[in-house]
Structure 1
Amino acid sequence: MEPVKVNILAVGRHEEILETVLRIINKSENWTAHGALTDEKAIALFEEQKFDIVLLCGGIEEECEAVLRVTFTEKDPEIIIIQHYGGGSGLLSNEIIHALSKRNSLPNSIS
């Protein structure tokens, strides 16, 4: 039986940066990532499948970020939302690992 992969939705405004983020995440055998350049695409993906983490990349306007956060948490109150500003693959991986470790330490979390 294959282990369940952590499913991550990355939302950003810069195509090249988003592609890099997706490539870094998808290198991990334990993670899988899908990306969206628009709010509409991000919301549609979120409604189509179950995500464990939403990664908000730089360039998202404050108002849009607020709407996304509300939309995602209304649909899934336990969703983990990470703000990612860049800084390389090591930082990105550590942000994801840290968020997952916090989730797994909660009394009602499921590993």
Structure 2
Amino acid sequence: MRNIKILAIGTNEQIMETILRLINQNPMWQGDIALSSQTAGMMLNAPNYDLILLGSGSDESEIRLILKDRMLNIPVVLHYGGGSGLLLCEINQALKPSSI
């Protein structure tokens, strides 16, 4: 089984580093972070992500427009806090076979 690639997008570098660490604690997940929509857009030029995680400061409409322009059908999860347990549940819910 291959790793699930997750792109987490948010503007607070410390928070995003924590989110990245939490994502990468799961041996089946591989995370990357982008600190701006522009960086995320460049990273999405190669369609190799299975899930987008939007954090604080991210622009949901801009990210969805990037996905639409590139004809990428990647689930988007909104995460604006609530702790690591909530984060992991949100990701697991989005990765259920009926969700992707």
**Normalized against structure 2, the TM-score is what?**
0.90
Letter in 2 for 1:59: G
> Post-superposition shift, 1:39?
1.2
Structure 1: state its 5+ residue gaps: none
Cross-structure match for 2:98: 105
- Structure 2 distance, partners of 1:89, 1:80, is 20
Counterpart pick for 1:72 among 34, 50, 67: 67
Q: Secondary structure at the match of 2:48?
A: coil
Deviations 1:14-44, CA, capped at 9 Å, x for gaps: 0000000000000000101000101111011
Q: Which runs of 4+ in 1 moved over 6 A?
A: none
Q: Secondary structure at the match of 1:47?
A: coil
Percent identity, please.
37
Structure 2: state its 5+ residue gaps: none
Counterpart pick for 2:77 among 55, 77, 82: 82
After superposition, residues 3-18 of structure 1 pair within 5 angstroms as: 3-18=1-16
- Structure 2 distance, partners of 1:44, 1:52, is 16
Structure ID, larger Rg? 1
Which structure's residues are more often helix, by fraction? 1
